[in-house]
Amino acid sequence: MASLSSPPEAGATVAPGPSRPAADGAARPARATLAAPIALAAALAAVYLIWAPPSIDLAAGEYRSWLFGREGLSLWDLQWYAGHHMPGYSVLFPPLGSLLGPRLLGALCAVAAAALFALLARRRFGDAALLGALWFAAGTATILLSGRLTFGLGLVPALGALLALAHGRRAGAAVLAVASALASPVAAVFLAMATTAWALAEPWPRGRDARRPWWRELGTERRLTGLAIAAAAVVPVGLLSFAFPEGGREPFVLSAYWPVPATVAAALLLWPREQRTLRIGAVLYLLGCTAAFVLDTPVGGNAARLGALVAGPLFALLLWRRRPLALALVALPLLYWQWTAAIHDVTVTHGDRSVERSFYAPLLAQLEARDPGGISGRVEIPFTKLHWEARWVAPRHALARGWLRQYDHKANALFYEGELTPERYEAWLRRNAVRWVALPDTTLDYSARREAELVEGGLPFLREVWRDADWRLFEVRDAAPLAEGAGARVTRLGHDAVTLSVERPGTVRLRMHWTPYWRVAEGDACVAPAPAPDGEDQTELRVRRGGEIRLVTSFSLGRVGASSPRCSG
């Protein structure tokens, strides 16, 4: 992706410039380089929209789009994970997904990404870009089938930034880099890697001129521009992570990692030496993926997305005319890498009723009858394999979990580390104010298998209250309430607000995660963090006068990173 934005390097084939109009015969292949990939991406996107396959990652996008449509821009969501920050996932996807629908938004982004890649490729490689552009266009379907629509959205401004950079429009490239960060942090990091490679490909000066300012010795305008665009991509990601922290780690297994060094080794062996930007970009990508593999980071296995998507198209761009036999040898493994995850996702979701709203209807009816408004406690559903409980149950009843693998590792480590014992499970249920445990009869996520065994085997603190062909519903005996102390009880639970009735002055423990953006909108009280030795900080309410207390979340620059109390009045 990086080299496509740079000026032609030695040995590259370049399409005729606008100052030399081509004859009709020469113009026809150039038009095909654009039209054919766009048509292919559009056809695949149309099939996707008609077929509308569910996928694992689509559940999160569907829920966030629904939430924006109902509540507007949100900083905080209490329906997942006892409260977590929202903007770090994506600032732009929820409003656009709400406006267009997540699937239509993803389809439009796939076509736009194919068009932008084709423009970049044609500018650099001329008519030789056709195969690579077609390969990339086909690859956009893998984003749709895997439900990685947020990444697809971020890819569009990222490619747009590279195209703007190629045309010398630095301000436009910077704006698009920021847009990429607001759409998808992962796409923004990839863009920063690409522009850094473009910057580093510029030869360094051989000697220092003492008459030049030190910062000029960093290199040419190209190097400074590339690094500036990289900063425009990653600084917003860092600011969002600081202001709205979530953290956690995304697994990155060896089977997902090893194609990266293998592909980079093949690239360094086969790609022309004059393609400095791409070769440097490949090395940077390997270093980044290795760091994500070795260290616990929120990126984790997501780092492999870029390589899987663009490796094949880049090999096609560079080898189709030069070394067709070499391209034929690497094409099959590159196609396998690009498509295997998407095919797996489609295969595992086919015929699974847990993706359908109707699967959850009987459970929701029982919960509504037993706990109207969901104010007596949360619902724990052991992770299904496809995670659509996060879409269909959360809008009506707060879940103890949701669907963020990174955050789940952080907040609910007992499901991933060590032995899950009945004692640890009971403590977790009470810490998260879980009143209901609903066990589905469907394929479960790997992290839920031990939990399901415990529940099915019978636990003294769980009492079965209902069952049908698909569900078993248990009530937690003497369940811990959402609010405890000073005679407090929750009277209304919203996605980013909570209303309580408090009998007397005193301290109320809220079994909700702490955010510095909590604010007392009604009542006389202060809200502060309540440190928890065995998990994330919860929330404490210091009530000065009994009555109705309403907590909301609202952003304030002065509250970024704060741990001090915030009082009414």
> Per-residue pLDDT for 361 more than 70?
yes
- pLDDT for 93-114, tens place per residue? 999 999 999 999 999 999 999 9
Q: What is the pTM of this model?
A: 0.91
Predicted local distance difference test score (pLDDT) of residue 555: 94
Most confident of 24-28, 82-86, 125-129: 82-86
DSSP 253: -
More confident position, 19 or 382: 382
Q: What is the CA radius of gyration of the chain?
A: 26
- pLDDT for 277-328, tens place per residue? 999 999 999 999 999 999 999 999 999 999 999 999 999 999 999 999 999 9
Predicted local distance difference test score (pLDDT) of residue 18: 38
Dihedral over alpha carbons 263, 269, 270, 273 (to 10 degrees): 120
- pLDDT for 507-531, tens place per residue? 999 999 999 999 999 999 999 999 8
Which residues lie across from 524 on neighbouring strands? 545
Q: How far is CA 3 from CA 53, 133, 138, 259, 441, in A?
A: 35, 14, 21, 21, 50
Predicted local distance difference test score (pLDDT) of residue 212: 63
Q: Give mean pLDDT, residues 156-177.
A: 97
> Per-residue pLDDT for 206 more than 80?
no
Q: Give mean pLDDT, residues 357-379.
A: 96
> Per-residue pLDDT for 5 more than 90?
no
Query: Encoding tokens for residue 7?
Result: 């000026």
Predicted local distance difference test score (pLDDT) of residue 10: 36
> Per-residue pLDDT for 492 more than 60?
yes
Q: Identify the CA nearest to 566 among candidates 531, 523, 534, 536.
A: 523
Range with lowest mean pLDDT among 22-31, 82-91, 169-178:
22-31
Predicted local distance difference test score (pLDDT) of residue 220: 76
φ and ψ at 213, to 5 degrees? -60, 150
What is the C-alpha to C-alpha distance for residues 239 and 247, in angstroms, rounded to an integer?
13
Predicted local distance difference test score (pLDDT) of residue 207: 61
User: Would you place residue 208 in the very low, low, confident or very high pLDDT band (cuts 50, 70, 90)?
Assistant: low
What is the C-alpha to C-alpha distance for residues 356 and 53, in angstroms, rounded to an integer?
11
| Residue that the structure tokens 């423990």 belong to | 509
Architecture in CATH for domain 353-476: 3-Layer(aba) Sandwich (3.40)
> Per-residue pLDDT for 78 more than 70?
yes
- pLDDT for 379-415, tens place per residue? 999 999 999 999 999 999 999 999 999 999 999 999 9
- CB proximity list for 373: less than 8 A, separation 6 or greater: 492, 493
More confident position, 534 or 347: 347
Predicted local distance difference test score (pLDDT) of residue 31: 75
Predicted local distance difference test score (pLDDT) of residue 214: 53
Q: Give the rounded percent of residues in the chain with a pLDDT score beyond 70.
A: 91
Which residues lie across from 552 on neighbouring strands? 497, 519
> Per-residue pLDDT for 17 more than 70?
no
Mean pLDDT of the chain: 92
Predicted local distance difference test score (pLDDT) of residue 33: 77
Predicted local distance difference test score (pLDDT) of residue 351: 87
Q: Give mean pLDDT, residues 498-512.
A: 97
More confident position, 197 or 207: 197
Asked if 54 contacts 388 with a C-beta cutoff of 8 angstroms, the reply is: yes
- pLDDT for 250-277, tens place per residue? 999 999 999 999 999 999 999 999 999 9
What is the C-alpha to C-alpha distance for residues 389 and 476, in angstroms, rounded to an integer?
20
Q: Are strands 462-467 and 538-553 parallel, antiparallel or unpaired?
A: unpaired
Asked if 337 contacts 309 with a C-beta cutoff of 8 angstroms, the reply is: no
Predicted local distance difference test score (pLDDT) of residue 8: 43
> Per-residue pLDDT for 16 more than 70?
no
Predicted local distance difference test score (pLDDT) of residue 219: 60
Residues of the chain with CATH 3.40.50: 353-476
Q: At what angle do helices 304-319 and 102-125 cross, to 10 degrees?
A: 30
Q: Identify the CA nearest to 147 among candidates 353, 343, 342, 303.
A: 342
> What is the number of helices (H) and of strands (E) in the chain?
19, 13
- CB proximity list for 103: less than 8 A, separation 6 or greater: 48, 49, 52, 58, 144, 149
Q: Identify the CA nearest to 539 among candidates 522, 557, 558, 552.
A: 552
Type of residue found at 561: G
User: Would you place residue 213 in the very low, low, confident or very high pLDDT band (cuts 50, 70, 90)?
Assistant: low
Predicted local distance difference test score (pLDDT) of residue 420: 96
* DSSP-derived secondary structure for 45-68: HHHHHHH----TTHHHHHHHHHHH
